[in-house]
Structure 1
Amino acid sequence: MTDLDRLLDFAERSRLPEGGFGYLGDDGRLLPGRPVETWIVARMTHVFGLATLLGRPGADDLTRHGVLALTEGPLRDAEHGGWRSSTDDDTKAAYVHAFAMLAGSTAATAGVDGGAALLDEAVAVWQARFWDDDAGLAVEEWDRSWTTCADYRGINANMHGVEASLAAADALAGTERSARLRTQALRTTERAYAWARERDWRLPEHFSAEWEPLTEYNRDRPADPFRPFGVTVGHQFEWARLALHLRATAADPPEWLLADAIALFDAAAARGWAADGHDGFPYTLDWEDRPVVPARMHWVLCEAVAAATVLAAVTGEQRFRDLAERWRDHGEAAFLDPTTGNWRHELTPTGDVGTGTWIGQPDAYHLVQMLLLYRRRVRGSVAAALR
């Protein structure tokens, strides 16, 4: 079975002496020649913030290391504000800024020095640059000087914006900003679920500047790690879980949050599992539910287990517990790397290590959250559940 302490031991190897965290290969060593990527730094800061809340020795120092990288290092644009996507990419992306907000939220909740300041700055940039109040959604990306906004709009960045907004709202509980962030998270979730409902629980990922679905987007690049073509099964599981975290924050939550979360979850489970005849969830399906990219991604299975776990906690239904256990057992058998203690990030349908979308094992975020959600009460954020 996956051991959380051993997984965190592995994750600690990502620490860069010059600041932040780097990309780990299959052997647990930093891959040479890669830029420092803000999404990795922010995710790992969040992970070590969660470990701090668990009382893990040394985790607060690692969290502080990440906070410093995001507040004083070269990833932060001191001239124009916000965060570069990486040390060799000046794009200001909503996806990256959502994770900066999540990192600040968890560090602040854990009481780590500098976390509250990082959170304040990340929320301010999100509100000023990314949040589109007319749409109830976030725009996707800007150039470095915030002069040109890309026409593309994406649901992936908005999904992580909901996650980060709920975490920030928990960290800022009792303030006007907290209430606003939860309202915004609900508005974005409403929009996403409306699009999924219109297509019999198939969620579009890509949109025009006017928020018209682009259902053919990246058909020629279907294995893109962040903008794949078609229906992304793992994101449907994430949206199902996030609706329940959102529901947990409301005194009188709308009934559709639970009903629609179940519908979206059930569609992803029924259409995704073994869609090509092999156990596991393909990365993507087309609009007729046929596998497009059959590779198995560790994060997709982690989100399936996490969503089933949260649904079991909220509903008390045994079928969700059974699915969580069945899928977790599959993950332990197929994905667990006994050498590193992490899960291999990509497999072929027959279980061999794949590299079509991901190389190495850079990410502890999905697996750590999956482990920490087990047998815990559902809150707006994982950090709030630990606190």
Structure 2
Amino acid sequence: MAEQASPEAKYQLGTPENKQFLDEQRESLMAFGHRFPSPGGSSYWLGDDGTPWTDRNRETWITCRMTHVYSLGVLVGHPGAAELVDAGLKGLRGELHDDANGGWYPAVTPTGDYTPDKQAYAHAFVLLAASSATLIGRPGAQELLDDAEEIFLKYFWDAHEGLSVDTWNTEFTELDPYRGLNANMHSVEAFLAVADVTGDEGWRDRAGRIIAHVTKWASENEWRIPEHFTSDWKPALEFNRDKPDDQFKPYGATPGHGIEWARLITQYALSAKIDEAEKQRLVDIAEHLFARAVADGWNADGAPGIVYTTDWEGKPVVHDRMHWTLAEAINTSSTLARVTGKDVYLNWYSTFLQYLDANVIDHKNGSWFHQLDCENKLMTTVWPGKSDLYHATQSMMIPLRDPSLSISVATKEG
């Protein structure tokens, strides 16, 4: 349980001061990212003060995230948000789209070339961005969503297994044998969003099938979720032991993903057409996942913050604190506080917000520091600059809204 000593009201869920703090931080984040669009619409990687780093690849997943964030911006009345959504849509329907083979390139390079392969991770974010932009009625968004749904179901969704495969070659002719849960986690997020926006419950059912696998794997592994798998979905627990801080495929358990899965499982439980017993079973699982992640990850080395990864016994491997992990901890603690009514989650929420304000928000240049070391000093080895706003912005919005709904629809409904 988190230590808690009369936090300031702005860190306490449900207070007017907390709402004001979250809203102010949300607006600050959205103001930071206005310079993301390149002339073609794809997103620049943003530097420490929001200056575009034009010498880096312009990633599809970042473009999607920014399109999604500024769709949320439209819903909360952020000035200039609609034009920024339109810029992102231009990139996703234009230079990032593979007109010859279908789908989306991972990135466009500074020289105008394309990086190879087709990634489920990036395509899940296309679904998310397109659904959010469709919800606010931006031109071209529905066509983008239709295209993204068709491509995902054709190439990435394995209906037999009930899971998403990971990576194809550019031409969609060769499927990589690697299977992973990072892409499946973002598939769940995207599927729930598409279901909420379109009313097509088939997407929610697909999310439920993925969740059924994940909850089983987690329960068999002391609630530390295996991340990497073979082509026949056998856990590869030693994968990337020699590259423990890999940006997307790190070795071991990732406490931040356990926390993120806990919220997504709760969202599914609250929104799916399932009986009360099954709903409670899933919420119980979410509580187990959260408890395991914070027990392993929080203050694991004598300093506050959540470590990036642990081994399969819960011992920290990469001690760095990533900003997205904290964002998901804010989301999930608030969600479980609302759903369960337990004080432990209110306490964690306050603890996370105090840590955020003291260590992670860049009060000088804006946005959040993306990577800190074990002493909470800035690092840039995995996440230099401030690439996008997605995790941080959502964490300033989700605590104020209906946990059964995807954030875009929850925001629209107030």
1: distance between equivalents of 2:323 and 2:225? Answer: 20
Q: Specify which of 262, 266, 273 is matched with residue 244 of structure 1.
A: 266
Q: CA deviation at 1:6?
A: 1.6
Q: Specify which of 262, 267, 291 is matched with residue 266 of structure 1.
A: 291
Q: Specify which of 97, 100, 104 is matched with residue 123 of structure 2.
A: 97
* Structure 2: segments with no counterpart, 5+ residues: 1-20, 109-113
The one-character-per-residue Cα deviations of 1:266-305 (angstroms, maximum 9, x if unpaired) are 1111111111121111100001111110001111111111
2:158 is equivalent to residue 132 of structure 1:
yes
1: distance between equivalents of 2:78 and 2:367? Answer: 18
2: distance between equivalents of 1:227 and 1:64? Answer: 32
The one-character-per-residue Cα deviations of 1:30-68 (angstroms, maximum 9, x if unpaired) are 113112110100110000111111122221111111112
Q: Specify which of 25, 28, 33 is matched with residue 50 of structure 2.
A: 28
2:332 is equivalent to residue 307 of structure 1:
yes
2:75 is equivalent to residue 53 of structure 1:
yes
2: distance between equivalents of 1:180 and 1:224? Answer: 33
Given that 2:41 and 2:89 are in contact with CA atoms closer than 8 Å, whether structure 1 keeps it comes out as no
Given that 1:313 and 1:377 are in contact with CA atoms closer than 8 Å, whether structure 2 keeps it comes out as no
Q: CA deviation at 1:3?
A: 2.0
Give the stretch that moved more between structures: 255-264 or 98-107.
255-264
Matches within 5 A, 1:182-221: 182-221=204-243
Q: Specify which of 304, 315, 321 is matched with residue 296 of structure 1.
A: 321
Q: CA deviation at 1:245?
A: 1.2
Q: Specify which of 331, 344, 354 is matched with residue 369 of structure 2.
A: 344
Give the stretch that moved more between structures: 251-260 or 333-342.
251-260
Give the stretch that moved more between structures: 276-285 or 52-61.
52-61
Given that 1:3 and 1:341 are in contact with CA atoms closer than 8 Å, whether structure 2 keeps it comes out as no
**Number of the residue aligned with 2:16:** none
**Number of the residue aligned with 1:171:** 197
Q: CA deviation at 1:128?
A: 0.6
Give the stretch that moved more between structures: 86-95 or 11-20.
11-20
The one-character-per-residue Cα deviations of 1:166-200 (angstroms, maximum 9, x if unpaired) are 00111111xxxx11111100000110111010011
1: distance between equivalents of 2:58 and 2:296? Answer: 37
State the identity %: 40
**Number of the residue aligned with 2:3:** none
Give aligned pairs, total.
Answer: 382
Q: CA deviation at 1:262?
A: 0.7
> Given residue 308 of structure 2, which amino acid in structure 1 is its aligned partner?
Y
**RMSD, aligned α-carbons:** 1.1
2: distance between equivalents of 1:293 and 1:330? Answer: 19
1: distance between equivalents of 2:173 and 2:400? Answer: 46
1: distance between equivalents of 2:138 and 2:75? Answer: 10
State the secondary structure of the residue aligned to 1:292. Answer: strand
State the secondary structure of the residue aligned to 1:76. Answer: coil
**Number of the residue aligned with 1:275:** 300
State the secondary structure of the residue aligned to 2:30. Answer: helix
1: distance between equivalents of 2:318 and 2:297? Answer: 12
1: distance between equivalents of 2:75 and 2:375? Answer: 38
2:132 is equivalent to residue 106 of structure 1:
yes
**Number of the residue aligned with 1:154:** 180
State the secondary structure of the residue aligned to 1:351. Answer: coil
**Number of the residue aligned with 1:81:** 102
TM norm structure 1: 0.96
TM norm structure 2: 0.90
> Given residue 68 of structure 1, which amino acid in structure 2 is its aligned partner?
K
State the secondary structure of the residue aligned to 1:186. Answer: helix
